[in-house]
Every structure is written in C-alpha cells, then in structure tokens.
Amino acid sequence: MAIELITILSPQLIPVWFYGYGAVAYGIVAAISFLISLFSFKLYRKSSLKTNLVLSLSFLSLGIAFACLLVSSLYTYFYIPYFQDDVGLGFFNHSAFNFYYLASLISYILFSMMYLPGKIKNKFFAFYVPLWYIDWTNFHILSIFIIGYVLLMNFMNCYKKRNFNSYLVTFAFFTIEIFHLLLLFIPFDVSLYLAAHALLSVGFGSLLIMLIRVSVK
C-alpha cells in the first residue's frame, strides 16, 4: 500500500521525475517477463509439460502487472506537470494499482505452485484464499511471504544444482523480495523508491541473461 499511498494521495511528496524513472524500470521488468513467458510457452507447445505452462502463465501475469504500473507511472509523469487537480489521476492510478495487485498476486501464487508438493498443490486455494482476504490491504507483506517461499526453494535449488543459471534466477527472486520490502518503508524515506526500482531492474536483467544462456544452442 505504501507506494499506492504515495502515488495516489500525495503525489507532491515525491519528485515527478521519479515516475519517469519508475516507468523505465517497469518497462524493463514487463518486457523481460513477456519474453520469458513467450519462450516458456514455446517450450510448452513442444513438450506439453505443465511446468512450462505454469512458468509461462506466471511470467505473463507478472508482465501484465508491471505493464499496469508502467501505464500508471507514465500517466502520472505526463499528467502532474499540466494539471493541479488530482481527482482524475487518483481514480486512474487506483484502478491501475488494483490490476497490478491482482495480476502480481496471481503470478506469485503460480510461482509458488511450481514448488509446492503435489498433494498441497491441488488444494492451494484453501491455502491462499484466506490470506488474500485477510491481507488484501497489506499486499507487499503478502508478496514477501509468497516470494519468500519461492526464494527459499530457489536457494535449495542453487545448493543442489550449483549452476550459474540457478544463481541468476535466485538473485532475481531475491530482488523481487527486497523490492517489496523497500516499498514498505517508502513513507520513512522516499529515496528507497529509487533503490527498490534499480534493484528490481538489475534482478530482471539477470533473468534476461539466464534466458539468453538457456535459449542459445
């Protein structure tokens, strides 16, 4: 909620150029997410492996989530300098953020489903839905919880496989975890917004390197 509070209620708290900066970061993240989704979907069509499909859908959902933030940030960046009345801006951003919350959580749930044991996987709704309703307002805390599990599983994978690609993926999930953590503290220090977005971009850069390494014959 912290980022939404700052964006919707008090846009004057942070410099306008932050939104331009944020838009660049969201654009990078969305583009890389769509690329991984497409790559994984192509593999699914050839192998019919469900894990490839789930991976594709989770990155597709994440790409949509960050595309929503991209549109919202661009709108704010170009809107604020010309209009003082922020009623329209608030409504637009509120809608964009709601889409972002929904798409992002669907993505994280799909990520975690890839690692859940078979018996629990089939009953994942019973596990997540109550959390969703209880913590809807605390989106970042819920995200930290879910991505924390995914990160733990990736740490275990790194320890087991010890290959460079697994380090890159683990680093990317680590940056997503820190991204949500830093956004929680924006009300105390607005500069954390810059650090969170820079870190997220670097994390997705590592996913892009992984994708190139995997797709090269």
Q: Which of 153, 178, 190, 198 binds other proteins (CB under 8 A)?
A: 153
Per residue in 160-196, is it b (16+ CB within 10 Å) or e — as a string?
A: eeeeebbbbbbbbbbbbbbbbbbbbebeeeeebbeeb
Block residue for tokens 């990317």: 172
Q: Which of 52, 61, 143, 175 binds other proteins (CB under 8 A)?
A: 52
Quick note: the x/- pattern for other proteins over 114-133, rule CB under 8 A, is xx------------------
Q: How far is the CB of 157 from other proteins (least distance, A)?
A: 3
Q: Which of 10, 12, 47, 95 binds other proteins (CB under 8 A)?
A: 47
Quick note: the x/- pattern for other proteins over 194-213, rule CB under 8 A, is ----------------x--x
Q: How far is the CB of 52 from other proteins (least distance, A)?
A: 7
**Contact 196/178 with Cβ under 8 angstroms?**
yes
Quick note: the x/- pattern for other proteins over 58-97, rule CB under 8 A, is ----------------------------------------
How far is Cα 186 from Cα 107, in angstroms, rounded to an integer? 24
Q: Which of 161, 189, 191, 212 binds other proteins (CB under 8 A)?
A: 161
In the structure encoding, which two tokens stand for residue 118, read together?
A: 């078979």
Contact range with other proteins by CB under 8 A, out of 40-48, 82-90, 125-133, 140-148: 40-48
Q: By CB neighbour count within 10 A (0-12 exposed, 13-18 middle, 19+ buried), where does 24 fall?
A: middle
**Contact 168/205 with Cβ under 8 angstroms?**
no
The string of DSSP codes covering 138-151 is -HHHHHHHHHHHHH
Site membership for other proteins, residue 217 (CB under 8 A): yes
Q: How far is the CB of 109 from other proteins (least distance, A)?
A: 15
* Total binding residues toward other proteins, as defined by CB under 8 A: 28
Q: What is the dihedral of CA 208, 214, 216, 217, to 10 degrees?
A: 180
Rounded (10°) angle between helices 17-47 and 192-215: 30
Question: Which residues of this chain interact with other proteins, rule CB under 8 A?
Answer: 39-40, 43, 46-47, 49, 51-52, 55, 114-115, 153-154, 156-158, 160-161, 163, 165-166, 168-169, 210, 213-215, 217
